[in-house]
Each structure stands twice: as structure tokens, then as C-alpha cells.
Structure 1
Amino acid sequence: MASFTLQQKSNFDGFPKAAELIEITGAHALEASDRAIFNHLLRLAHDSSRLNAHDAEWEISLNELRRSLSKHGSNDRVRDSLRRLRRTEVKVTYISATTHKTRVMETHLLEFTDTDTEESSDATVQFGIPRRLREILVNSNRWGRIKCEISYAMTSKYAIALYELICLRSNLQNCVEVMSLPRFRELLCVPPDSYDRTVDFIKKVIEPALLEVNGLSDMTVDIELRRKHSRAPIYEVAVSWRTKSAEEFRQVQLERDRSKVGRMARLRGNVEAVDHQM
């Protein structure tokens, strides 16, 4: 009998995020803050046990979302993120519960948001998740455990995407996955026709992603960009991962507890990113 994502409980290892949402595509318009806030909202929705309720909607303090995101005193950034989550159309690949065929749904991640207009300490946002998307989540039987505090600690949207992909695969016996370069770009939500040059792809996508995943998460990840020969274009990507040791995990926790100011410089001082061989 299949074990469903909806039946899993949030715990110390994080909340269960359905594979269908981890492997969304077309989300390149979303920023790192948007993805982090959506994880926060999704965890709230999951833990409420109301994802499969016909009239399901939820409410959360804007202050709570803002404090997790930054120490900035205004809710403007939170409101901007909510707006992008409501307007950005993504693609969700799933297996139909009735036909058992693979389908792709194009949808927004939030159906609506309803916020207080005043910047008071008790201002809230009410939100809903599209019904058809909730149906997919209810029937999901693959998930990765995501720690919201790790998403909030990251500034690169590619780092968050890579972190979630690894969380989805972390319990597999095989700790290496090889995929085509187009598929890898798609899963990291790299904008189409962007960073086509290898040097730009490494500098703008791979290096920031590895820097933050290796420096702020529970996993150590390596990415190998493969070519047929030294002058050939990249044709596939090998992603490998392992769980951090107790001491490595302690160092990561210490860094997450520190101020974000100067963090990237600190991470660059002790994290090897990627082989720059062109």
C-alpha cells in the first residue's frame, strides 16, 4: 500500500514537501525569498491537515513571515513575494490518480491572498492553494523533508532548488544521479536562453548553489559537468551527495545562527564550489 505525503508529519528533519512541487518547472520568475515564503505557507497548510478540505484556506501573521525573511521593518518585501507567488505560472508534472498517465498542469502556486492594509503588529495574510493543485498534493506519494530555516538562510534561488532536489533524493541507496543538461537547468528553474555560456552558467548558477547548499544545509553536494571531450559542450550533469558528519553539521548550524552580514564571504573562505576546467 502506498504511503502518501499527506499522511507524513512534520518533525525535526523538516516538513514533507511533495515531489511534484519540488520538481516544478517554469518558476524562474520566482526569487529566493518567494520560494522560502512558499515553503513556510505550504508547511502551515500541510500541518493543518486541511489540504484536502473543499473550502481550505489559511491565515498567518505578516510579521512571522517577515521576521523569518529579514530584519527589515516593513512588510513590503513579503507582499511582493506573495504577489509573485500568486501571478507566476509554473508547470507541475504528476501521475493522474484516475488514468495513471503522466500529465502536466500549468498553475499558480497561490489561488488568492487577502492581506490587511495597515502595517500593524497583528496584520495577517489569508491565502488559498488552487484546488486542482491540492488534489495533486493529496495523491502524492513521494516527498522530501524540507527545513524552512534552511530555505530562509539562502539567498540564491538556485541553491534552494538544488537543496530541495537533494532532500527528495537523500534517502535513496544511490547517492549519484545523472541527468541531461537541459533537464538539470529545467529543475533548477534557470531562465530559458540565459547563461548559455559555460563560464556564466558556472559563475551565476552552479557556484552560488553549491556555496549555499554546502555551507548552510545538512548535505554535502558535488556537481560534475560532463563533456564528450575537453572542447565539447556540456551534455549531462552528475549530481552526488552525502549527509554531513556531526562536526560538519555543527559548523553549518553555527553559521545559520550568525548574521547574514558577511555570510557569503565566510562561505567562500571554506567551501569549494566547482572545477573551473573549461
Structure 2
Amino acid sequence: MSESTRPKTNNKRTLDVAPNMGEMVKPAELIEVKGASRLTLADRRLFNVLLRHAFGPDLASEGRRFEIAVADLRETHESNDRLVQSIEALMTTVVTIQRPDGSTDRVQLLGWNNLSDPKRKRGNLKYSIPPELALLLKDSTVFAKLELEVLRAFTSKYALALYEAVARRVRLKYVFTERFALDDFRELLGVEPGKLETFGNLNQYAIKPALMEVNALSDFTVTVVPEKTGRRVTGVLIGWGAKDIEGRKAAYAELQRPRVGRKARITGTVEEMLPPEVIE
């Protein structure tokens, strides 16, 4: 954890924070994890919904099980077959989380679960947060407040990842930038190993689409400036800032409009199709 993201004087536990209406609170430990690059946008949305439903002091209790109506997962999946795929992706994804003392935990994102009759649209999903992850979150004091409407509007997992990363920083006082090594920034965005390997492709298919959506839909602005060693891009400098009232009004207005034509409205250009692996 860099100095810019190290928690300031704050003894309030993340799990005791009450989200405002239309928000979810997400512990910082679950925002910038390593090993989650193969999760799709749908997988990440499902995890956020399950986390939001379980959020609170009970989340840190070992052995605690939660239950959510399958109908409440429709914002992430239209079919139960796809839902099962995302559940299994979360169960088999092992992420590494770095503690403030420099040690590293390796944990799964989702534990035991039971889906009542996956052939039916109605029913419930019972699930648990892995006990090791629950214990890790117990003492969390750093978090992001995420707007649910903004989370639902993203069409790229890169935009969702960038939004979450900046949302946990934008409330910091006197800190408006942070440097990342290029490999760390790729991990932050969720770029899979072997994909978008050149900076040109990374910029075109991940960074620019993410910036377009985050800057158009959120309450803050983000910039990503490449930094070179010689001729090679080896890192980026991320900058952020809160929007003024007119900027927030414009973002809200765009959220109310259909996704179709959004790029053209924002950039004044004709929309182009992105490769499927970029959208996911």
C-alpha cells in the first residue's frame, strides 16, 4: 500500500459503516486484489451484489450464511445457467490480499452455496463468505462508497475496476495522484495475462473505454498519464478530482439515458464494436 492510499486516522470499522441510499460500501481489501483478472464483468457484478447483501457486522462472523432471492440477481444475470457459471468462477478464483504489515493472504471470493433449482427463475441462493476472508475483513477500516446506479451502467469490467479503485481514493485529503508500475496497473484493471500486451492495445481497448465511462457517469474525473523509461511505457500516473455541481448533474443525466449511443454522445464520434474479450 502506498503512502497515498494508507488509511488516515480512522478507527471506525468498515463493516460498521452504514451506506447511504443508492450506495454500497466495499472494503478496500476487496477492491485491489491480485488474481481476479479472469473474472468477467458479470462475475464482478455478482460478487458486488452478494457482498452488498451480506454487508454489515455479521459479515465477519465465521460460519455465517446468507440468503438472497434469485430475482435480486437479475441485474447481473438473465439466465440461471450464466449465474451458475459466475458462482463457480467466484468459488475457484483465489486472490491475494496484502496486509498493512506487508504479509499476504490468499483466499477464495465465495464459499459454500446452494441454489434452489437452477432451472427455475424463482428461488433463493444461499451462500457463505469464506471464513478466512471474513476474518480478514473484520478489522478493515478503509473502504469505498460506490454508487449502485453507476455500477449497473458500466459495460466494461475495466471501467468498473477503475471506478472502484478511484472511489476508495477520492475522499483522501491533499492527495490527488498516484503512480503505478504498468504491471500493477494492468492488474488493477483486471487485464488477463497475455491480453492487450502492448501499451497501444491496452490504451485503446482498456484505458480509454474505462476513462470514457467513468468520467461520463461518476461524480469524479480521472486521468491516466503514461510514464516512460526511455521509449517504453513502464508506468502510469493516475489523477482524480471531484466534479462540480454541473458535472454531477451531467453525469446523472447521462445515467438516465440509454446505453445505446453513449459513446457518440460523450465523444461526438461514431461508436465502434469492441472485441468480446475487451467488453468482458
CA displacement at 1:120 relative to structure 2: 4.1
CA displacement at 1:267 relative to structure 2: 3.5
Question: Residues 94 and 108 of structure 2 are in contact (CA less than 8 Å); yes or no, is this contact kept in structure 1?
Answer: yes
Q: Deviations over 1:62-101 (max 9, x none)?
A: 11111x236x4x3333332222111222212224xxxxx3
Change (3 A) 1:243 1:13: farther
Structure 2 counterpart of 1:103, which letter?
S
2:137 counterpart of 1:137? yes
Q: Deviations over 1:168-210 (max 9, x none)?
A: 1011121111122122122222222332212111111111111
Q: Deviations over 1:133-161 (max 9, x none)?
A: 01111111111112233222112111111
Number of the residue aligned with 1:245: 244
Partners of 2:84 and 2:252 in 1: CA distance = 29
Number of the residue aligned with 2:81: 76
CA displacement at 1:237 relative to structure 2: 0.7
CA displacement at 1:54 relative to structure 2: 2.7
RMSD, aligned CA: 2.0
Counterpart of 1:32 (choices 22, 26, 41) is: 41
2:192 counterpart of 1:184? no
Change (3 A) 1:51 1:94: same
Partners of 1:78 and 1:269 in 2: CA distance = 36
Write out aligned runs for 1:1-278 (5 A). 2-12=11-21, 14-47=23-56, 49-66=57-74, 68-69=75-76, 72=78, 74-95=79-100, 101-172=101-172, 173-229=174-230, 232-269=231-268
Partners of 1:161 and 1:137 in 2: CA distance = 19
Partners of 1:136 and 1:93 in 2: CA distance = 10
Stretches of structure 2 lacking an aligned partner (at least 5 in a row): 1-9, 270-280
Change (3 A) 1:132 1:142: same
Structure 2 counterpart of 1:237, which letter?
V
Equivalent residues, number: 259
Question: Residues 80 and 121 of structure 2 are in contact (CA less than 8 Å); yes or no, is this contact kept in structure 1?
Answer: no
Stretches of structure 1 lacking an aligned partner (at least 5 in a row): 96-100, 271-278
Percent identity between matched residues is 33
Structure 1 counterpart of 2:253, which letter?
L
Q: Deviations over 1:95-139 (max 9, x none)?
A: 4xxxxx322222221002211215545311111110000111111
Partners of 1:124 and 1:192 in 2: CA distance = 35
CA displacement at 1:217 relative to structure 2: 1.5
